[in-house]
Chain A
Amino acid sequence: MVETVIGKPVLELCKVSKSFHRRGFPPVTAAREVDLHVCEAETVALVGESGSGKSTLAKIALGLVRPDAGEVKLFGKTISGLPMGQLREVRTAMQPVFQDSSAAFNPRRTVTQLLSQAAIRHPSPIGTMRERLIILLEQVGLRPGEDYLGRFPHELSGGQRQRLSIARALAMDPPIIIADEPLSGADVSIRGQLLNLMIDLREKRKVAYLFITHDISIAKAFAHRVAVMYKGSIVERGNADEVLANPQHEYTKRLVEGSLTVEQAEKAVEAISHKMESGVAAS
Chain B
Amino acid sequence: MSNFTSRFKSLPAGVAAAVYVGALVVIAIGAQFSGVDPTIISNDALLPPSTSHFLGSDELGRDVLVGIIFGIQISLSVGFCAAIAATSLGIFIGGIAGYYGGALDLIVMRVTEVFQVVPSFILAAVIVALSGPGLTRIIAVIALLAWPQAARVMRGEVMRVKQLEFVEAVRCLGYKEGYILLREVIPNAVSPTMAIGTLIVGQAILLEAALSFFGLSNPDLVSWGRMLNSGQRFLFNAWWLSFFPGTAILITVLAFNLLGDSISRALNPKGVK
Residues of A whose CB lies within 8 Å of any CB of B are: 59, 62, 64, 84, 88-89, 91-92, 94-96, 98, 100, 103-108, 117-118, 121, 165, 168, 172
Contacts and interface: CB of A to CB of B under 8 A. Distances in A.
A172 B169 contact: no
A89 B168 CA distance: 15
Contacts of A117: 170, 173
A177 to B, nearest CB: 11
A91 B172 contact: yes
Residue with the greatest number of chain A CB neighbours at <10 A, chosen from B164, B165, B169, B188: B169
Nearest to B183: A106
B188 A106 contact: yes
Nearest to A65: B168
B28 to A, nearest CB: 33
Residue with the greatest number of chain B CB neighbours at <10 A, chosen from A59, A64, A92, A103: A103
Nearest to B177: A84
B9 interface: no
B189 to A, nearest CB: 11
A104 B168 CA distance: 8
B132 interface: no
B176 interface: yes
B184 interface: yes
Contact of A89 (B166, B170, B174, B188): B174
A88 B169 contact: no
B187 interface: yes
Given A100-B165, A103-B164, A103-B165, A108 B187 contact: yes
> Helix, strand, loop or mixed for chain A's interface?
mixed
B171 interface: yes
Contact of B172 (A89, A95, A105, A107): A95
A91 B174 contact: yes
A106 B165 contact: no
B168 A88 contact: no
Interface in B156-213: 164-166, 168-177, 184, 187-188
A79 to B, nearest CB: 13
Contacts of A84: 177
Contacts of A106: 166, 170, 184, 187-188
Nearest to A62: B172
Residue with the greatest number of chain A CB neighbours at <10 A, chosen from B164, B165, B170: B165
Contact of A96 (B172, B175, B176, B184): B172
**7 closest Cβ pairs, A-B complex:** A92-B174, A103-B165, A98-B165, A104-B165, A106-B166, A103-B164, A88-B174
11 contacts: A64-B168, A88-B176, A94-B172, A98-B165, A98-B169, A104-B166, A105-B169, A108-B187, A108-B188, A117-B170, A121-B174
A94 B173 CA distance: 9
B249 to A, nearest CB: 38
Nearest to A153: B166
B6 to A, nearest CB: 15
B171 A105 contact: no
A4 B184 CA distance: 42
Given A106-B170, A106-B188, A121-B173, 11 more contacts: A62-B168, A88-B174, A89-B174, A92-B173, A95-B172, A96-B168, A96-B172, A103-B166, A104-B166, A105-B166, A108-B188
Nearest to B167: A106
A96 B169 contact: yes
Contacts of A108: 187-188
A62 B170 CA distance: 12
Contacts of A89: 174
Interface string B127-156: 000000000000000000000000000000
A98 B173 CA distance: 14
Contact of A107 (B169, B175, B177, B188): B188
